[in-house]
Structure 1
Amino acid sequence: MIICSIQNVTQTIAANTIFEEISCEIKQGDRIGLIGRNGEGKTTLLDLIAKKTQPVEGTITWKKDSTVGLLQQVPQIAEDRKVEAILYDVFTAMEELKMQMSKLERAMSEETDADELTRHIEKYGSLQEKFQQDGGYEIDSQIRRIMSGLKIDDLAEKEWQQLSGGERTKVGLAQLLLKSPDLLLLDEPTNHLDLSAIEWLTNFINNYSGTIIIVSHDRYFLDETVTSILEMDQGELIKYLTNYSNYVKEREERLLQEFQQYEDQQKRVKKMKETIKRLKEWANQANPPNAGLHRRAKSMEKALARIELMKRPILDHKKIDLDFQSNKRSGNDVVFVERARKAYGEKQLFSNINMHVRFQERVAIIGENGSGKSTMLKMILGTERLDEGVMKLGSNLSVGFLSQHMFEIDGDQSILDEFRDQVHVTEGDARGILAKYLFYGKTVFQKVKSLSGGEKMRLRLAQLVHQNHNLLILDEPTNHLDIESKEVLEEALDQFDGTIIAVSHDRYFLDKIFSKTYWLAEESLMKYEGNYTFARAKRQA
């Protein structure tokens, strides 16, 4: 059964056509991954399906009485509302039923008239049946389960205005999961979640009874949750009945096949044009002019006009150009930590931990949110002091730092000025470099604060690449990057001849780049001589 049908839909924003005449059908029970480069219109399409906006042209229809829920990155909620109350607000109708039942309970305890008591009992019975059928007795456990899974138990008594952007997104996700709509739309649901919360969400989705559409740049998450892919590419919508990994292979095969068909058609059209030209020349050279040859030429021209010309398939989109260079070699010992302890007030993050990072190692630091991973990076950078222990950096080091929180304090500078603050080159050279990171023409004069998360990350990568560091410290470097940009980053890091230390929740990225893993849990740091999947298997053994 079709839950949502999209027919010949066109959408524009500020006179820009985002996509044109796209069509698809979403069936009940579908698990769809919506894929596309940043800017292709994925969020725009979700807004249309969620009934938040209307299409300029075309129609979208939904199954009668079906409910649609969209994860908003920043939900609109009263500033003084507490988190627990926000989640209970989902069940307002159930709370009203509960109040009616309580009212009837009081009435029954005080009623002396037998007939009136019977009427109260009958009404109470029907209300209780509805309350039970709608899961009223499970509300408390449901809320506790989802709060625990998403690691937001400690936010229960906090007001909305006290929450960070990431915490607000997690509360919004919890609220949406509690609503349990027939069609669940998730836009980057794993952002701000740690690894165990991502695993919990994966399990939740796989047991979800409704239909789901997910926009995500987390490749493992897509493989674990979706059974079909909708690709948005150059304003078109293409469906693949497979998971993400197989989609990558099928897409490459499709593009190569389409390119071959395009080239064959181009050859055929060229041959027809040459034949038409020759027929006309022969007809005109004849004395008198040959009417039969003219007719043949005219007939071929009509046949040529009827051919629907294929668009040239784009095998390679414009990509950022990353090439990390290191002009000087560091010493063999890069970072040395011994018996380190760190606490904030009464909250101890870790104690008696040790770490030794050597030249050219790729080291990942893994742990739950709040375990102290970013604090460890700050210790290495020298922006946080240890309470106890030893922290030493090796010789001849040039340290580059990339964080998902870059540019959050001062975003009033232009892209060009921000770049040149860190990389001392002429304006002309700077503009040439920035073009390699897809900042073209007048866009270099935009203020940094106007950029999306992905654009800010691209700008910071441009700075890092041209600073010739031999130690890269990366804090969630793949956040806000689309899959294609992640792949470029992975390739560049793979070729980097210095040392890398990173914190990340992107399991694909962790497995591909890092051959040594430090796992921070329960105030201790465990070392594993392998990637994330290896370390996780060892911990579960």
Structure 2
Amino acid sequence: MTLLRFSNLSLAYQGDYVFQNISGILVEGRRTGIIGPNGSGKSSLVKVLLGYLKPCQGQVTWVKKVRTGYVPQDLGLPLDTTPAEICRGESAEFLGKCGVGKHLWNVPVRLLSGGQRTRVALASALSSYPELIVLDEPTNHLDMEGMEWLETFLARFSGTVLLVSHDRFFLDSVVEEIWDLRNGKLQVYPGRYSDYLRLRKARESHLATEFEKWSVQVRNLKVEIANRRAWYEKAHRDAGQNDFRRRKAKKHARQFKAKEARLEKLLSQPPEKPRIEHGPAVDFRERGYRTRTLIRATEVSFSYPAEYRPDESCPFRQFRQSTGPASTTELRCEVEPCNGSVQVLDSISVAIGPGEKVGLVGPNGSGKTTLLKLIAGQLVPCKGVLWRNPNIKVGFLPQMLEELDPNLPAHRNVSLKTGLLPHEARNLLGLMGISGEMQTRPLGLLSMGERTRVALTCLTAGSFDLLLLDEPTNHLDIPARERVEEALRAFSGALIVATHDRYLLKKVSNVTWYLKGGHLEVYRGAYGGIPPTPGGDRTGLRPGDETDTVDTPGSAASVLKIRMAYLASKIAAARDSEEKAALDARYQEAVEELRKITRGHGQGPAG
């Protein structure tokens, strides 16, 4: 049964159409995924269908009125409220069903991780017992276990699902129909994402064939018209008063005019032209340095300080760099971690050699980013030894893109990072899809997808023995993700990529590092799913599983301490006094929250 119908919808911003004259239906009980390049209007279409945006033209008709649960891309949660305040009374049961432990129910939303916020937003949407769930980029902040939980939940949901996503693995697991929105048009494909790929390829092949036939017809008609016009003009000149030749000339005139009418009709009804979409021109180059081992970690542990802000005298910044006779560089911390530290990595031993392509996976907060920063030399182990061959060149793409200056334009960032001349930086950015005024705008005004392309541009300008990539496909659309995958598969150097993008892992990795609970396990071979932890332990929550964690002050305090550790690291890396002051204010807020919690339970103030 049709749930809603929309016809001839058009939406424009400042005179530019986002989409134009699109029509379709949403079928009750069906799980539908909306895909398309960044900026194609996917989120806008959802908002038009739900009544949050008014189209320029067209009509949306709800055939059947239903309760709707909507989770927008920005989640829309008040940052100063708690999960318990968002889901009050009987609605609180949905927090447990969505995997939000009771120890988090009274923690302000602003202190929760992205994945935890997503679960709270979903619990809030489910509390109305919806018959239709609408999700905009729901996997953006979820780790793999969170994604598997959401996939299972949606598979069991008996109502209708409409979701926007760039996650191809997720789409393949969940949806039964694809709406492909691109170039202002909407095309509907039955089946999962893999079915869509096959059907779209067949459709584009058919379009190319039909367009070529049309082009040949147009080309031949133009030649024929030109020839007959020339014959007519010659016959007319030569005819003089000869009636036979005059009749023959008129015959040629009738023929080329008929051909002209046919050509006019063909040109007025051209078939759809297939569009070849080019993602960014990503190309990673290897230096070609040959050695047996690039990186070796021996019993490496790392902890973040929980109760103080790091400064120039922070013990985690004091380390000894030793270069031995065998061209070895070792990084060690000279002091023990302070009491109350939050341990992230515990006695990790691992090595990587040339050509290995490592997929680094694990739950949110397991320390993947920390491990990459240790390998990159931005952090130093608290215990153990991290050896890095001093002759190798390492390229690093951080998750938050903090190595780029948000106040400088894209081309200036690339020039500073790579040493390229301004015109060279502009040309390279153009190949990555950053062109025109986007190159001159301050980086902070670009979208996260555009900023990621700028960061990738910096890497493509160099040549490296080892690439460290932290969530490289975050914020990228599907065409861009595919180009990144192609480039990484072609890269002959070594790679460590921390990602939740399972499509990327399956295509690129030949080794999997699974990080959980501070420990690292190595699995040889391409990625084939989340590896089990020792003893077969799996902690991924499933729909309907109640979380009976006791709500203790220590649990909420731990969340605050982790938040403080994160802010402390950001303060240490602040580029200017203004940024440092803003981060410091957020840090002091967290300190005050922690003091309130500890006082409320009869403990002394933190610190």
TM-score, normalized by the shorter chain, greater than 0.5: yes
**Superposed CA offset, 1:462-506 (max 9, x none):** 001112221111111111111111111111111212211121111
Match of 2:432 in 1: 437
**Superposed CA offset, 1:328-349 (max 9, x none):** 5153211111222233435433
Matched, 1:214 2:163: yes
Aligned to 1:263, which of 209, 212, 221? 212
Aligned to 1:333, which of 277, 293, 302? 293
Compared CA separation, residues 515 and 36, structure 1 to 2 (3 A): same
**Superposed CA offset, 1:408-445 (max 9, x none):** 88411111111111011211111111111112233210
Match of 2:151 in 1: 202
Quote the Cα distance in structure 1 between the aligned partners of 2:119 and 2:447. 20
Match of 2:386 in 1: 391
Compared CA separation, residues 408 and 189, structure 1 to 2 (3 A): farther
Quote the Cα distance in structure 2 between the aligned partners of 1:468 and 1:234. 35
Match of 1:83 in 2: 83
Contact kept? 1:72, 1:169, Cα under 8 Å = no
Aligned to 2:361, which of 366, 377, 380? 366
Contact kept? 2:512, 2:524, Cα under 8 Å = yes
Match of 1:146 in 2: 98
Contact kept? 2:468, 2:495, Cα under 8 Å = yes
- Using the TM superposition, give the Cα deviation of residue 169 of structure 1 relative to its aligned residue in structure 2, in angstroms: 4.2
Match of 1:277 in 2: 226
Give the number of equivalent residue pairs. Answer: 489
- Using the TM superposition, give the Cα deviation of residue 83 of structure 1 relative to its aligned residue in structure 2, in angstroms: 1.9
Compared CA separation, residues 21 and 509, structure 1 to 2 (3 A): same
- Using the TM superposition, give the Cα deviation of residue 390 of structure 1 relative to its aligned residue in structure 2, in angstroms: 1.8
Matched, 1:482 2:477: yes
Matched, 1:455 2:450: yes
In structure 2, the gaps of 5 or more residues are 240-245, 305-339, 538-607
Contact kept? 2:404, 2:413, Cα under 8 Å = no
Matched, 1:231 2:226: no
Contact kept? 2:298, 2:386, Cα under 8 Å = yes
Quote the Cα distance in structure 1 between the aligned partners of 2:287 and 2:348. 32
Match of 2:271 in 1: 310
Contact kept? 2:177, 2:192, Cα under 8 Å = yes
The 5-angstrom pairing of residues 82-121 of structure 1 reads: 82-88=82-88
Letter in 2 for 1:157: N
Contact kept? 2:77, 2:121, Cα under 8 Å = no
Matched, 1:353 2:348: yes
Letter in 1 for 2:261: K
Letter in 1 for 2:265: R
**Superposed CA offset, 1:304-332 (max 9, x none):** 33331124212x22321122113351532
Letter in 1 for 2:256: A
Contact kept? 1:362, 1:513, Cα under 8 Å = yes
Contact kept? 1:374, 1:475, Cα under 8 Å = yes
Question: Pairwise CA RMSD of aligned residues?
Answer: 2.3
Aligned to 1:241, which of 190, 200, 216? 190
Quote the Cα distance in structure 1 between the aligned partners of 2:171 and 2:428. 33
TM-score normalized with structure 1 length: 0.85
- Larger CA deviation: 402-411 vs 181-190: 402-411
Matched, 1:297 2:256: yes
Quote the Cα distance in structure 2 between the aligned partners of 1:153 and 1:362. 39
Match of 1:9 in 2: 9
Compared CA separation, residues 425 and 491, structure 1 to 2 (3 A): same
Quote the Cα distance in structure 1 between the aligned partners of 2:500 and 2:524. 18
Quote the Cα distance in structure 2 between the aligned partners of 1:153 and 1:478. 33
- Using the TM superposition, give the Cα deviation of residue 71 of structure 1 relative to its aligned residue in structure 2, in angstroms: 1.9
**Superposed CA offset, 1:113-164 (max 9, x none):** xxxxxxxxxxxxxxxxxxxxxxx5xx4443211134xxx6553221234446
Quote the Cα distance in structure 1 between the aligned partners of 2:92 and 2:21. 45
The 5-angstrom pairing of residues 14-163 of structure 1 reads: 14-88=14-88, 139-148=91-100, 154-163=103-112
Contact kept? 2:132, 2:161, Cα under 8 Å = yes
- Using the TM superposition, give the Cα deviation of residue 293 of structure 1 relative to its aligned residue in structure 2, in angstroms: 3.8
Matched, 1:172 2:139: no
Compared CA separation, residues 239 and 76, structure 1 to 2 (3 A): closer
The percentage of counterpart residues that share the same residue type is: 31
Match of 1:186 in 2: 135
- Larger CA deviation: 243-252 vs 170-179: 170-179
Quote the Cα distance in structure 2 between the aligned partners of 1:363 and 1:153. 36
Quote the Cα distance in structure 2 between the aligned partners of 1:185 and 1:172. 12
Compared CA separation, residues 167 and 196, structure 1 to 2 (3 A): closer
For residue 299 of structure 2, give the secondary structure of its aligned residue in structure 1: strand
- Using the TM superposition, give the Cα deviation of residue 180 of structure 1 relative to its aligned residue in structure 2, in angstroms: 4.3
Compared CA separation, residues 30 and 408, structure 1 to 2 (3 A): farther
Contact kept? 1:332, 1:394, Cα under 8 Å = no
For residue 147 of structure 1, give the secondary structure of its aligned residue in structure 2: coil
TM-score normalized with structure 2 length: 0.76
Compared CA separation, residues 75 and 489, structure 1 to 2 (3 A): closer
For residue 391 of structure 1, give the secondary structure of its aligned residue in structure 2: strand
For residue 258 of structure 2, give the secondary structure of its aligned residue in structure 1: helix
Contact kept? 1:73, 1:169, Cα under 8 Å = no
Aligned to 2:506, which of 492, 503, 511? 511
Quote the Cα distance in structure 1 between the aligned partners of 2:499 and 2:418. 26
For residue 44 of structure 1, give the secondary structure of its aligned residue in structure 2: helix
